Copies of this chain bind each other. A is one copy, B any other.
Amino acid sequence: MKTYPAGDLTKEKIYEASKEIFFRDGYKKASMKEVSEKAGIKQSVFYYHYKNKSDLAKKLYSEFGTAHATAITEWIIQNKYSNDIIITNCICSALLIINSVTVPNIGRFWSEMYTDNLTADIPFHRHFHELIFKKRFSDFTEIDFEIFLIEAAAMNCALILSFLDGRLSIKPEELARFKIQNTLKELSFTKQERDEMVKEIIEIASQIPVVCGKNFEIRIGPKHVF
């Protein structure tokens, strides 16, 4: 059993309480007053532990993304499906999109963070793009990289919100396919290369029994667990 110093325990309680509120209400509507009440603390205590709502939201999404990617990457390595870092990251990305729109309200929460310019700066997002772009482009400048982060976050959020708002009548799997196509286009693969890679990525992704719970829990297991 995990034990915490008293201060850390309060911080953890706030974090847990925020999951429920953020996923129910999305980012914009979520009330930190309600989070504090749910955590059983005064609102002033909230601001002792977290700078503001966006600080907490960024931590939450980053940890979710990292846990998600780690679980999937380990599964791929154990099952020896691919040792290509771009393929592996695209598989993570595809499953992240599918889980974001099928588990309420992860996609809305993440996409709404975009309006406060938070999405491009999330450490998980940065790390993911570092992994795949640094491998492919040795002449990438700092500013190229910053622009890629901004564009990739904007496109993800726009696609997810359009899907959730019903302006895109497609299936979650198709949404993921478009997301992968985008990433591979950003990485300057040719159409033929992209088509082959997308086929491989979708084939592997469809075999990974990643399970994402209502409250951000990630595990690899039979889909019917939840």
Contact = CB atoms under 8 A, between A and B. Distances in A.
In the complex, which of the residues A150, A161, A182 has the most CB atoms of chain B within 10 Å of its own CB atom?
A: A150
Contacts of A161: 117
B143 A168 contact: yes
A150 B168 CA distance: 10
A142 B117 CA distance: 30
A188 B186 contact: no
Give the number of copies in the complex. Answer: 2
B167 A117 contact: yes
A120 to B, nearest CB: 8
A147 B167 CA distance: 10
A217 to B, nearest CB: 30
B170 A143 contact: yes
Nearest to A167: B117
A174 to B, nearest CB: 8
Contact of A117 (B146, B150, B162): B162
Interface of A: 114-115, 117, 120, 143, 146-147, 150-151, 153-155, 157-159, 161-162, 165, 167-170, 174, 178, 182, 185-186, 188, 190-191
